[in-house]
Amino acid sequence: MSLMVGRWLRSLTSKKAEQDPSCAILQLPVEMILLIFEQLPQYQRILLAQTCSSLRAIFIDNYKAREDGGQPLSSGQLGVDQRSRFLFTMAYSQPNLLACHQCMKLHTIDQEDTPSSWWQFSCRHEEGSPMDIVRWSEEYVTLPQALRYQARRDCCRAWGPVARGLRVEIAINDAFETGEEMVGSCYGCETDFAVQASSETTVVRAWSNLGSETTFVDNQSWQSMAKFGESSRGSHSRPGCVRQLYEQGAISGHLSEE
């Protein structure tokens, strides 16, 4: 039930809250509506209560009167995990918003983020330098921004290879020597690559698994790209499998080919 309600809530977050007397859930007895609330995690209860004034009144009247006080009455009272999921659901259907797990708020996407600025921060609570194409982190940008930044950064040799380390550089050298396609993968994130070189052109292709449509906390594939280091080594357990998924057309909505 939680999954079904979650999908419904995602669709509602992109719409203005309007009272609809014909809504099926409002035709149920209050006792049954409360049973639905009880089946949901805390953040989904608050989302459901925000869809219309009637559901909010039922939610407030029921949980405010409880002596245990175990249910937060607003998103600001949620714990870190539940609040991050609340923000993700709110931003899911609104491409102009970014759910920032750094400061636990929704940010408006900056459409004029390229060319970059020395004073541009993805989040003012983020440690380190302002964000630009060279120093951006997948952890603090939306999927469209990540794809655009990665494509632009990989076009310049000085800004690093497609896959971290020397694997792409070695593959390019080998491709020139043999004239055959050389393939490889990143040892820290789920990225496969292929290099085809000749005396006239060099083509480098990369296939990256960006994970499923979940929060950053739950998305291990996204984390391996954003938090590259010793902890992410071995995350790409089957080299070549990401490229295979692209070529088979599997879960194409979750992957992106550069």
Rounded-to-5 percentages of helix, strand, coil across the chain: 45, 10, 45
Looking at residue 142, what is its pLDDT?
A: 56
pLDDT tens per residue, range 34-61 = 899 889 999 999 998 888 888 889 888 8
Looking at residue 119, what is its pLDDT?
A: 56
Strand order in the sheet with 255-257: 182-185, 191-197, 202-209, 255-257
Q: Alpha carbon of 196 to those of 176, 206, 256: distances in Å? A: 8, 12, 20
Looking at residue 113, what is its pLDDT?
A: 57
Looking at residue 160, what is its pLDDT?
A: 44
pLDDT tens per residue, range 109-127 = 766 655 555 555 556 555 5
pLDDT per 10-residue tile (average), the chain, 258 residues = 56 54 82 90 90 88 73 84 87 80 77 57 53 46 57 45 56 74 81 84 83 74 64 62 83 46
Looking at residue 222, what is its pLDDT?
A: 73
Interhelix angle for 2-13 vs 30-39, to 10°?
100
Looking at residue 106, what is its pLDDT?
A: 84
Please tell me the distance from the alpha carbon of residue 99 to that of residue 141, in angstroms, as a whole number.
9
Looking at residue 256, what is its pLDDT?
A: 43
Name 121's Cβ contacts closer than 8 Å, sequence gap at least 6. Answer: 130, 131
